């Protein structure tokens, strides 16, 4: 067994009850462990190790993860990769956007944010291009960047405790980490619904929508981890998978299809306003508090993503991230919801009507020499 970690701290025995609540002696934010016990080869294990911060991803974590994935992808002895989160609260609650906020206010620019999103998106794309199974234990909270390091993988496992969401429009951002690709391919208008509203999905919802393929009660995850060390990935997962309960989101599938298949955000608002169902009123009330700019960007992004390759979706999201961290609502949304917590963001545009098509078009314009380069990840080996 070989262990690598990101930090200056020491580390000793780390995986006694992986992936339940783990007593980790290292202060490393991300841990990498190689198990050579499998007859079919070694298994590379990744532990997101910031439980007090809900395992949110920092720039250094993304850099370290990307480098390790690249190495393991080239290692012929590694037959599978497993990722999980430390602690009892979250797999990963997203990127550490408070870190981005603090860097912006310290440096008065978006250089740090650009570095974070550039590294994160390349890491997400590398996960999609791995030549071996990538198994994600999506137990507990899975949001934003946590979705990026799980849903982009080949084997996605949820539990009865899973809570997945893409709440970016609430903070003036947009569904990123490849969401323009996978949300646009959900059935019906589910992708726009999930992306615009930040709807919270449980494990059954995730399986029903295709965001995950396997439902495993959380008590079986330690057994599954051990079995993965000894046998093939598919057989190990099949041995503990169960049929999920009915998915709550499907009870609203007709309403979602009716309202979120409209041709603009304005039309979605109007459709919801005409519906007397309390569910529709709840969705509309929430949407009215979100950044109008983010809603319009997100609507077009998800629509555009349906006709783009995965790599081109990441390139589009990079253009958006570059610009929205320079002159969008992002930092104000983070301030209102996570820093001051007054829940009163002062969006640049107060209404949808204030944002014309030309404004949105500018966010999607090519970046020329600053486009996201993925050639070293997606080029044939």
- Residue 143: how many CB atoms within 10 A of its CB? 23
Q: What is the pLDDT of residue 306?
A: 98
Whether 224 shows a pLDDT value over 70: the answer reads yes
**Edge to edge, what strands does the sheet with 201-202 contain?**
90-92, 141-143, 163-165, 201-202
Phi then psi dihedrals of residue 290, to 5 deg: -85, 165
Q: What is the pLDDT of residue 318?
A: 98
Whether 7 shows a pLDDT value over 60: the answer reads no
The residues near 327 (Cβ < 8 Å, ≥ 6 apart) are none
Alpha-carbon span 12 to 33, nearest angstrom: 12
Alpha-carbon span 42 to 56, nearest angstrom: 27
Alpha-carbon span 81 to 67, nearest angstrom: 14
Which run of H or of E encompasses 51?
A: none
Residue by residue, DSSP assigns 318-339 as HHHHHHHHHHSSHHHHHIIIII
Radius of gyration of the chain (CA): 20
Q: Is the dihedral of CA 308, 369, 168, 264 positive or negative?
A: negative
Alpha-carbon span 244 to 215, nearest angstrom: 6
Q: What is the pLDDT of residue 8?
A: 30
Alpha-carbon span 121 to 29, nearest angstrom: 19
pLDDT digits (tens, 9 = 90+) for 129-155: 999 999 999 999 999 999 999 999 999
The residues near 303 (Cβ < 8 Å, ≥ 6 apart) are 184, 192
Q: What is the pLDDT of residue 38?
A: 62
Whether 11 shows a pLDDT value over 70: the answer reads no
β-strands 134-138, 141-143 pairing: unpaired
Alpha-carbon span 131 to 110, nearest angstrom: 34
Least reliable range by pLDDT among 43-52, 230-239, 272-281, 287-296? 230-239
Helices (H), the chain: 59-74, 97-107, 111-128, 145-148, 179-182, 190-197, 203-209, 221-230, 233-240, 253-260, 265-274, 278-287, 292-305, 310-327, 330-334, 357-364, 375-378
Whether 269 shows a pLDDT value over 70: the answer reads yes
The residues near 123 (Cβ < 8 Å, ≥ 6 apart) are 62, 65, 66, 69, 148, 149
Provide the β-strand partners of residue 245: none
Confidence of residue 17 (pLDDT cuts 50, 70, 90): very low
Q: What is the pLDDT of residue 109?
A: 86
Q: What is the pLDDT of residue 108?
A: 82
Share of the chain above pLDDT 70, in %: 92
Q: Could you tell me if 371 and 315 are in contact, meaning their C-beta atoms sit under 8 angstroms apart? A: yes
What are the residue numbers of the active site?
Answer: 95, 145, 168, 176
Cα distance between the two ends of the chain: 28
Q: What is the pLDDT of residue 379?
A: 53
- Residues 186-196: what's their mean pLDDT? 97
The residues near 225 (Cβ < 8 Å, ≥ 6 apart) are 18, 19, 82, 84, 137
Q: What is the pLDDT of residue 103?
A: 95
Higher pLDDT, 23 or 114: 114
Whether 3 shows a pLDDT value over 50: the answer reads no
* SS3 of residue 296 by DSSP: helix
Least reliable range by pLDDT among 37-46, 71-80, 110-119, 342-351? 37-46
């Amino acid at each position: 067994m070989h262990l690598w970690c990101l930090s200056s701290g020491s580390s000793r025995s780390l995986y006694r009850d992986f992936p339940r609540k783990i007593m980790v002696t290292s202060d490393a934010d991300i841990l990498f462990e190689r198990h050579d016990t499998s007859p079919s080869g070694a298994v590379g294990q990744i532990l997101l190790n910031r439980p007090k911060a809900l395992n949110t991803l920092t720039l250094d974590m993304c850099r370290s993860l990307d480098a390790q994935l690249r190495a393991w992808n080239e290692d012929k002895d590694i037959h599978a990769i497993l990722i999980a989160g430390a602690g009892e609260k979250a797999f990963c609650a997203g990127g550490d956007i408070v870190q981005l906020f603090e860097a912006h206010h310290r440096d008065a620019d978006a250089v740090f944010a650009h570095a974070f999103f550039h590294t994160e998106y390349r890491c997400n794309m590398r996960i999609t291009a791995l030549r071996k199974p990538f198994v994600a234990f999506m137990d507990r909270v899975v949001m934003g960047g946590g979705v990026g390091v799980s849903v982009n993988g080949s084997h996605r496992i949820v539990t009865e405790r899973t809570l997945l969401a893409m709440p970016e429009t609430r903070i003036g951002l947009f569904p990123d980490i490849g969401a323009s690709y996978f949300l646009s391919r959900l059935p019906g208008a589910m992708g726009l619904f999930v992306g615009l509203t930040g709807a919270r999905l449980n494990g059954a919802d995730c399986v029903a929508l295709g965001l995950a393929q396997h439902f495993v009660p959380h008590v079986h995850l330690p057994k599954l981890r051990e079995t993965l060390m000894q046998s093939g990935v598919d057989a190990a997962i099949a041995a503990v998978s169960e049929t999920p309960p009915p998915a709550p989101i499907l009870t609203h599938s007709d309403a979602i299809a009716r309202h979120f298949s409209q041709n603009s955000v304005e039309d979605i608002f109007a459709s919801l306003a005409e519906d007397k169902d309390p569910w529709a009123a709840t969705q509309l009330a929430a949407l009215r508090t979100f950044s109008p700019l983010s809603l319009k960007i997100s609507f077009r992004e998800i629509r555009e993503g349906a006709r783009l390759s995965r790599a081109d979706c990441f390139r589009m999201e990079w253009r958006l991230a570059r610009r929205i961290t320079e002159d969008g609502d992002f930092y104000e949304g983070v301030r209102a919801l996570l820093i001051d917590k007054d829940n009163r963001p002062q969006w640049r545009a107060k209404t949808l009507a204030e944002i014309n098509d030309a404004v949105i078009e500018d966010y999607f314009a090519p970046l020329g020499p600053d486009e996201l380069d993925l050639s070293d990840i997606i080029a044939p080996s």
